[in-house]
Structures are given as C-alpha cells and as structure tokens.
Amino acid sequence: MTDANQPGGPAQEPEVPATDAMRCRSCGNEERASEGYPCSRCGTFICLICTFRGITLCASCRGETPVA
C-alpha cells in the first residue's frame, strides 16, 4: 500500500466506507445507510434490499427477535 499517500490519487474506494455502514434491523446485513430507509414505526435503519422485498418495519416492530 505504498501509493496510499500519493496526492491526486484515485478517489474511488473498492470497499464501502465503514463510516456509512449500518446494520439492517430486519435482515442483519451491513449496508450503506445512505441507500436504506427508516423503519416506518421506530425509524431504525432498514436496508435497501429489505425495502425492495416490501419490508417497512424492523424485526422488533414486526414482533420478531431483533437482529444482534
């Protein structure tokens, strides 16, 4: 990783920055917070994948055991 400090290097990162990662309270996956949606009841993070599957409530709001 000798080129990490070069000025003007490529800005794109191959991995999702950890600063933007949040754990989905429905499926437990870590996804980008900016690409997810809040639970419609409590506002906790639900990932885009769950939203696509029609999920609008987190696990605890559905009465299930919350993901760790």
Q: Which residues bind Zn ion (CB under 5 A)?
A: 24, 26-27, 39, 41-42, 44, 47, 50, 58, 61
Residue with Cβ nearer Zn ion (2 or 67): 67
Among candidates 20, 62, 19, 68, which has minimal Cα distance to 50?
62
CA pair distance 41, 3, nearest whole angstrom: 46
State in angstroms the smallest separation of the CB of 67 from Zn ion: 9
State in angstroms the smallest separation of the CB of 62 from Zn ion: 8
State in angstroms the smallest separation of the CB of 3 from Zn ion: 35
CA pair distance 27, 14, nearest whole angstrom: 24
